[in-house]
A and B are shown apart, each in its own frame.
Chain A
Amino acid sequence: MKVVVCVKQIPDPADPGALDPDTKTLRRDVKLILDESDSYGVEMALQLVDAAGEGSVHLVSMVPNDEVSGLRTALAMGADSATLISDEALAGSDALGTSRVLAAAIERAEPDLVLAATESSDGYTGVVPAQVAELLGLPSVTFAKEISIDGGTATVRRQTEAGADRVECPLPAVVSVTAGVVEPRYPSFRGIMQAKNKPVDNLKIADLQIAAEQVGWAGAGQEITDIADAPERAAGEVVVDEGDAHERIVAFLDELKVI
C-alpha cells in the first residue's frame, strides 16, 4: 500500500513574523518548519502501513524556496521518501494553484491513499484536500477522526456538526485528518540520522508540465486590496487570586445577569 501525505512547511506559528508590506502576505523568507497539523497525517499513514504489513509513505510538499527542514522532520518520523516542488514561481499561489501543483505531483506517485491535514496552520483555507481530489477525479472524505483500510476500501469516521458519520470509500481516495486523533511520534535519533539519506525528489513546476502563469501571483484568482489594524479590545480588571477570586467571578456573572 502506498500512502502519499501532503505536508507543508510554514513559518513557526509561535513566531509567525509579519506581513510583507510589498506582497501583503505572510513573510516566508524565515525559517520554515513542519506544520504541526501535518504530523497527524504522517502518523496516521505510518500506522496504516504498519497495520497493512506492507507499503510505504511518500511525502509531497511545495515551497517557494529551497527549504527542506520541515520535510526532514516528517522523514525522521518514518516516512520513506518525498517529492518537493521547490520553485520561486510558487510564491503567492492561492489554494487552487497549490492544489494543481500537489495533484500533479501526487499523480506521479500513483498512491492508494492520499492523506492531508484538514487545513494548514498558516493559510487555513481548508479547501486544498477536496480540490486535490477533484483534480485527480478521486473520492474524498474530509475531517477524518479514524481510518481503517480493508483491501481496496477505506472506512472513515468523519466529524460532522451533529457527531460523526461512518463513511465507506473505495481507494484510491483523498482523506483529510483532524488534529489530535493520533499521537504523532517524536523522531528518534536513529530516525533523524536516517532521514538525511532518504530520497527527496526535487522538482520544478515545469517538471510537472505546469506553466508559471498557472500558479503563484500570476495564477492566483484573488488579490489583497487592504490591510488594516482591527479594533483593539480593551483589557479590563485583573485580580490576583488570594483564595477568594472565585467570589469576584460570581459577582461579575451576577452583574451580567447570566446566573
Chain B
Amino acid sequence: MTLDKIWVYCEGGADGVATITLEMLAKAREVAGTVEAFCGGDGAACAAELGDHGATAVYSTGDLGGRMQGVSVASAVAAAVSSGSVAAPDAFLLGTTYDGRDVAARLSVKLDASVLSNVVDLRLDGDRLVGVEPVFGGTINVTSRFTNGGPDIWLVRPKSFEPSAVGGPPAESVELPVPDLGAAGGAVVLDRFTEESEGPKLDEAAIVVSGGRGLGSAEAYSMIEQLAKELGAAPGASRAIVDAGWVPYSYQVGQTGKVVKPTVYIACGISGATQHLVGMKGSKNIIAINKDSEAPIFAVADLGIVGDVHKVVPKLTEALEGR
C-alpha cells in the first residue's frame, strides 16, 4: 500500500536542482504512486532534471520578482488546492532549509495542517507515513505521525536519502499562479550576495574540518581554515563558536545548523555536545582532537587524539603541505 501522491518542494539555482530536492524525490518514489514537484520560480528550467528523478509534473509560480519563497509558494499552493484546480497531495516534503521552513510554516497555517520537522527517515506504516527524528544528540530516535487527516507536511533533513535518477521523461510544467499576497507579501529581496568560498560546500565536502570552543579565540579559527585548505576540505564549526560570533551561522554543524556526512570529519577543540553530535555522527570516519580525555566526542571518534589543538593542528597542516 502506497500513498497516491506526494509533492516535493523543489529548490535550486544556476547549478540545477538542489541535492535535497533530488534526495526527497528518491524517497517519495518509494512511498507514493505519483510524485510531483512544486517550486517558486521557473519550473520549466528544472523539468528535465526533475523528470529524470521521477517527478511527473512540476507546478511553478514563474519569476517571483524578488518576493519571498515562503509566502509566495505557500499562498499559491493553498489557492490551487482550495479552488480545486489541483487535488491536494497526501503529503508535502520540504527540505529543512532556509526557504523550505518558510514554505512549510506558511502552508501549515493556510491548510490548518501540522508540521513535523527534522525527519531523517520516512516509511509507510500501513497506508500512512511515519517519520523518524533523532533527539538527544542522535542517541534516541523518535517516530511520529500525523493525526489530523492531512495533508502531511514533512520537513526533511538534508543527507537523509540518496538521490537516484530513473531516467523519466521531462516533468510536465504546470502553472501555479501566486494570488494577491496583501501585507504578508511585503518583503522583497533587493540584492543577492554570494559568499565566495574557495573550497567545497560544507554539506557536500568529502572532508570537513570543524573548530570549537577549545580553539580559545576567534583568531585561532584561521588554523582550521588552513588545515581545511590543505585537505581540500570545508571548514565547519560547533554552535558554541557560532554563538560567540567567531564564525557565521552558515558554518554551523549540528542539530541547529547543517547535517554533514563526509568521508572524514575532523573535530578540533570540540567537546561533543549532543547539539553537535547529531549533525556529524553520520560521518564515515571521525577524527577528534581535544585536550579533555573525558570529552564526549571521543565516544564517537574512530581516531581520538588527546592533545592541544594549538599544537596538533598546525603540525598536521605542516605535515600535509607538499603532499
Residues on A lying within 8 angstroms of B by beta carbon are 13, 16, 19, 24, 26, 36-37, 94-96, 99, 118-119, 121, 124-131, 133-135, 137-143, 145, 155-156, 158-170, 173, 178-181, 183, 220-230, 232-233, 235-241, 243, 245-250, 252-253, 256, 258-259
Contact = CB atoms under 8 A, between A and B. Distances in A.
Interface string B97-114: 110011011101110111
Nearest to B197: A163
Interface in B51-94: 68, 70-71, 74
Given A119-B256, A131-B106, A142-B70, A239 B190 contact: no
B184 A133 contact: yes
Nearest to B308: A241
A36 B256 CA distance: 13
Interface stretch (B34-42, B137-145, B164-172): B137-145
A81 to B, nearest CB: 26
Nearest to A235: B299
Interface string B179-196: 000111111111111110
Given A223-B147, A228-B141, A128 B285 contact: no
A24 B304 contact: no
A130 B184 CA distance: 10
Given A127-B104, A127-B105, A256-B264, A142 B243 contact: no
A126 B308 CA distance: 36
Contact of B191 (A119, A166, A252): A166
Contact of B188 (A121, A130, A168): A168
A181 B242 CA distance: 9
A168 B187 CA distance: 6
7 contacts: A13-B273, A26-B135, A95-B108, A127-B108, A140-B70, A166-B191, A169-B188
A139 B108 contact: no
B97 A161 contact: yes
Contact of A135 (B109, B135, B188): B109
B130 A253 contact: no
Given A96-B115, A166-B191, A141 B143 contact: no
Interface in B263-288: 263-264, 266, 273-275, 281, 285-287
Contacts of A19: 135, 140
Nearest to B311: A241
Contact of A164 (B71, B136, B195): B195
A220 B250 contact: no
Given A137-B182, A162-B195, A131 B312 contact: no
A258 B266 CA distance: 13
B303 A127 contact: no
Given A180-B248, A221-B114, A236 B304 contact: yes
Interface residues of B, number: 100
A245 B142 contact: no
B174 interface: no
A222 B186 contact: no
Interface in B108-124: 108-110, 112-118
Interface in B219-245: 231, 239, 242-245
Given A26-B135, A94-B114, 11 more contacts: A96-B114, A99-B109, A126-B117, A165-B191, A165-B192, A170-B183, A180-B242, A237-B304, A239-B304, A241-B307, A246-B312
Contact of A225 (B143, B183, B281, B293): B143
Contacts of A243: 311
Which A-B residue pairs are the 9 nearest by beta carbons?
A241-B307, A221-B114, A130-B105, A221-B148, A163-B195, A127-B105, A236-B302, A169-B187, A226-B143
B290 to A, nearest CB: 10
A128 B249 CA distance: 19
A137 B110 CA distance: 11
Given A162-B13, A258-B264, A259-B323, A173 B186 contact: yes
Given A137-B183, A141-B187, A245 B299 contact: no
B200 to A, nearest CB: 13
A64 B298 CA distance: 37
A24 B140 CA distance: 11
Given A222-B145, A227-B141, A237-B303, A167 B70 contact: no
B96 interface: yes
Given A95-B115, A96-B114, A130 B106 contact: yes
Contact of B303 (A138, A180, A229, A236): A236
